A and B are shown apart, each in its own frame.
Chain A
Amino acid sequence: MSVSIDSIFVHKMWDDNELSKMVEQGIPFPMLSDGGGRVGKIYGIYDEDAGVETRGRFIIDPDGIIQGYEVLTPPVGRNVMETFRQIQAFQPVRKSKGTQATPSGWKPGKMTLKPGPDLVGKVCDIWKPSMAFE
Chain B
Amino acid sequence: MTEEIPAGCARPTGGPTGEKPVEEVVLEKSEIKEEKIMIRVGRKAPDFTAPGYQKGKFINASLSDYLGKWVVLCFYPGDFTFV
Enumerate chain A interface residues (CB-CB to B < 8 A).
1-6, 8, 10-15, 18, 25-34, 38-40, 42-45, 50-69, 74-78, 83, 87, 90-91
Contacts and interface: CB of A to CB of B under 8 A. Distances in A.
The contact size tier of chain B is: 35 or more
Interface string B1-16: 0000000111101000
Interface in B19-42: 37-42
The B interface, classified by DSSP as helix, strand, loop or mixed, is: loop
Contacts, number: 172
A57 B83 contact: no
B72 A55 contact: no
Contact of B44 (A3, A57, A65): A65
B70 A34 contact: no
